[in-house]
């Protein structure tokens, strides 16, 4: 189960699909000290104490709210982002998603949920990243092409109470992936040049808030700074996209290296890249013709997934200082890396048996891949984030969000104080304070973004 997210379009980035196979809260409390085991435990008074308080971030008047994933959805200062339904019906229905209400991006801080709005019109918006200064990057609808049946979207930035349209590179759509603390935004935008591999390329998008499924012009990676969008070029092919940018100004993404469609994948060779000092560096692959960058650390380490020779299997990789390392598997065929902390600890999921399609969450550290297991007898699990304390969060196939620390994996629902109707089903992010961001489900099936606030 992937974290519940709401997309503005129906198709995600083709390479990700093909390569991977598939209320008010009080002051934030400090996280348990490293080595402290969380969970319900009896105090000297005989009362049971719990590790976390669940905070329901609520909605904007509609039934649901939706978490952002992937990306930085929660800062170390407790600012969270997401998307939430209003009670206003979307007049563009059926060109809409989920509940067909106007659903703008929101920012939550100190118990207050702020509607960030969208570009003019009856439009929805979606956030992708919040930096440590509270600046939010994302995408907003700005029009609907009813004849074609999809919405048109631009990359946007919410900064100091203003909504900034970042524009495009000459085409009609763009998408922001991340914003660093310097206010630089990385993403993908269409230009005005016809794309020679459009039918094979499908949609190129940076995040869960995707460019529409059909584009007739090239897609280019960009960096936006001080009102100007800069095309980063490609690795030789017509299309590229950027998903990540760190405070050094390094950018990671993936690019076609040519225009020749591979029979094994259905699209041209695609390699991950790192852009720095004005140059796009080809990171290569693990032998196959397709690779994607799934995270970029503050130190410039890139982690992701690459096909192996023959494009019949794929493995997680970590690239650092010019070297790509194959992280292997847990004994099965495939693996994917989704996140790394700034110490180089990587998390993701990996197959554990050559005869099973099930997979387990892993933590890769000091050259070794550790199987994190599953919870409640679930067959599969996936890790999405690890913080500086090596606390890992994820979810499992039975709809259980979990926390792994100090060698133990625990269902998060067993670690929260009773009293909420929400069942925590997905955990997508954990900050260095130990606060956990995810999704909870109500008995009626509605879903809300939640925070789990650790106790002293």
pLDDT in tens, 54-74: 999 999 999 999 999 889 999
Residue 295 inside a domain? The answer is yes
Residue 141 inside a domain? The answer is yes
Alpha-carbon gap, residue 365 to 183, rounded angstroms: 32
CA–CA distances in Å: residue 300 to residues 172, 272, 316, 340: 31, 13, 17, 11
The pLDDT of residue 32 is: 31
Whether the pLDDT of residue 46 is over 60: the answer is no
In tens, the pLDDT along 362-416 reads 999 999 999 999 998 999 999 999 999 999 999 999 999 999 999 999 999 999 9
The pLDDT of residue 40 is: 54
High-pLDDT (> 90) share of the chain, %: 79
3-state secondary structure of 16: helix
9 versus 291: the higher-pLDDT residue is 291
198 versus 95: the higher-pLDDT residue is 95
* Tokens 């105090």 found at: 43
State mean pLDDT over 432-448. 97
- Token pair of 436, please? 């956990």
Least Cα distance to 319 among 341, 293, 347 occurs for 293
Alpha-carbon gap, residue 259 to 236, rounded angstroms: 8
For every residue of 307-360, DSSP letters joined together read: EETTSS-EEEEEEETTEEEEEE-SSSS-EEEEEE-TT--EEEEEE--TT---EE
Instruction: Please name the residues in contact with 91: beta carbons below 8 A apart, sequence gap of 6 or more.
Output: 122
Q: What are the strands of the beta sheet with 392-396, ordered from one edge?
A: 381-386, 392-396, 401-405, 408-411
What phi, psi does 217 have (nearest 5°)?
A: -120, 170
The pLDDT of residue 452 is: 98
Residue 437 inside a domain? The answer is no
The pLDDT of residue 397 is: 95
High-pLDDT (> 70) share of the chain, %: 85
Q: Going along 168-209, which residue ranges are E strands?
A: 170-179, 185-194
Whether the pLDDT of residue 6 is over 50: the answer is no
Whether the pLDDT of residue 97 is over 90: the answer is no
Whether the pLDDT of residue 11 is over 70: the answer is no
Residue 408 inside a domain? The answer is no
Question: Worst-scoring range by mean pLDDT, 46-55, 191-200, 418-427?
Answer: 46-55
Least Cα distance to 200 among 151, 261, 270, 252 occurs for 261
Instruction: Please name the residues in contact with 392: beta carbons below 8 A apart, sequence gap of 6 or more.
Output: 347, 361, 363, 372, 383, 385, 386, 403, 404, 405, 430
CA–CA distances in Å: residue 265 to residues 97, 218, 240, 269, 270: 29, 19, 17, 9, 10
Alpha-carbon gap, residue 89 to 164, rounded angstroms: 25
How many domains, in total, are found in the chain? 1
| pLDDT band of 353, cuts 50, 70, 90 | very high
| pLDDT band of 261, cuts 50, 70, 90 | very high
Question: Worst-scoring range by mean pLDDT, 11-25, 55-69, 118-132?
Answer: 11-25
CATH number (domain holding residue 293): 2.130.10
The pLDDT of residue 193 is: 95
Question: Worst-scoring range by mean pLDDT, 13-17, 236-240, 261-265, 375-379?
Answer: 13-17
| pLDDT band of 48, cuts 50, 70, 90 | very low
Residue 352 inside a domain? The answer is no
Whether the pLDDT of residue 51 is over 90: the answer is yes
Peptide bond before residue 70 is cis, with ω within 30 degrees of 0: yes
- Around Cβ 421, how many Cβ atoms within 10 Å? 12
> In Å, how far from its chain's centre is CA 297?
14
**Which structural domain, as residue segments, surrounds residue 264?**
14-22+58-328
| pLDDT band of 456, cuts 50, 70, 90 | low
| pLDDT band of 112, cuts 50, 70, 90 | very high
Residue 27 inside a domain? The answer is no
Alpha-carbon gap, residue 79 to 201, rounded angstroms: 36
| pLDDT band of 94, cuts 50, 70, 90 | confident
Residue 221 inside a domain? The answer is yes
- Identify whether the C-beta of residue 383 lies closer than 8 Å to the C-beta of residue 349: yes
Residue 241 inside a domain? The answer is yes
Whether the pLDDT of residue 307 is over 50: the answer is yes
- Mean pLDDT of all residues belonging to the chain: 87
Question: Worst-scoring range by mean pLDDT, 39-48, 140-149, 197-206, 225-234?
Answer: 39-48
Whether the pLDDT of residue 21 is over 60: the answer is no
Alpha-carbon gap, residue 451 to 456, rounded angstroms: 16
State mean pLDDT over 314-318. 98
In tens, the pLDDT along 180-223 reads 999 999 999 999 999 988 654 444 444 556 545 456 899 999 99
| pLDDT band of 28, cuts 50, 70, 90 | very low
Pairing of β 381-386 and β 368-373: unpaired
State mean pLDDT over 91-109. 90
State mean pLDDT over 304-332. 98
State mean pLDDT over 271-283. 98
């Amino acid at each position: 189960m992937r974290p519940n997210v709401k997309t503005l379009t129906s198709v995600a980035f083709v390479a990700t699909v093909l390569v991977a196979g598939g209320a008010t809260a009080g002051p934030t409390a400090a996280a348990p000290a490293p080595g402290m085991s969380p969970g319900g435990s009896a105090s000297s008074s005989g009362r049971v104490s719990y590790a976390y308080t669940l905070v329901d971030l609520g909605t904007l008047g509609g039934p649901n709210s939706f978490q952002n994933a992937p990306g930085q959805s929660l800062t170390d200062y407790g600012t969270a982002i997401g998307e939430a339904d209003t009670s206003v019906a979307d007049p563009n229905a059926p060109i809409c998603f989920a509940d067909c209400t106007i659903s703008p991006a929101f920012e939550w801080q100190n118990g207050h949920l702020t509607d960030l709005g969208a570009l003019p019109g009856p439009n929805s918006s979606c956030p992708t990243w919040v930096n440590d200064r509270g600046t939010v990057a994302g995408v907003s609808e700005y029009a609907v092409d009813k004849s074609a049946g999809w919405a048109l979207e631009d990359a946007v930035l919410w900064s100091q109470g203003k909504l900034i349209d970042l524009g495009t590179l000459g085409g009609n759509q763009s998408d922001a992936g991340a914003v660093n603390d310097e206010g630089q935004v990385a993403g993908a935008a269409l230009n005005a040049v016809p794309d020679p591999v459009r039918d094979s390329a499908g949609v190129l998008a940076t995040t869960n808030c995707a460019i529409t499924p059909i584009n007739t012009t090239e897609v280019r990676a960009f960096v936006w700074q001080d009102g100007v969008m800069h095309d980063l070029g490609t690795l030789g092919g017509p299309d590229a996209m950027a998903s990540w940018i760190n405070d050094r100004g390094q950018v990671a993404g993936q690019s076609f290296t040519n225009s020749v469609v591979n029979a094994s994948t259905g699209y041209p060779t695609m390699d991950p890249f790192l852009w720095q000092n004005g140059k796009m560096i080809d990171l290569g692959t693990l032998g196959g013709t397709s690779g994607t960058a799934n995270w970029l650390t503050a130190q410039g380490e890139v982690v992701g997934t690459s096909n192996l020779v023959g494009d019949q299997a794929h493995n997680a990789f970590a690239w650092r200082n010019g070297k790509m390392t194959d992280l292997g598997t847990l004994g099965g065929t495939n693996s994917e890396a989704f996140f790394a902390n700034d110490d180089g600890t990587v998390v993701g999921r990996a197959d554990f048996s050559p005869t099973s399609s099930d997979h387990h969450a892993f933590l890769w550290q000091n050259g070794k891949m550790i199987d994190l297991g599953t919870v409640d007898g679930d067959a599969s699990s996936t890790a999405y984030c690890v913080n500086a304390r090596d606390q890992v969060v994820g979810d499992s196939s039975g709809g259980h969000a979990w926390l792994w620390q100090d060698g133990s994996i625990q269902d998060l629902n067993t670690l929260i104080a009773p009293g909420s109707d929400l069942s925590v089903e997905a955990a997508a992010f954990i900050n260095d304070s130990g606060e956990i961001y995810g999704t909870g489900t109500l008995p009626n099936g509605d879903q809300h973004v939640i925070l789990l606030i650790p106790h002293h």
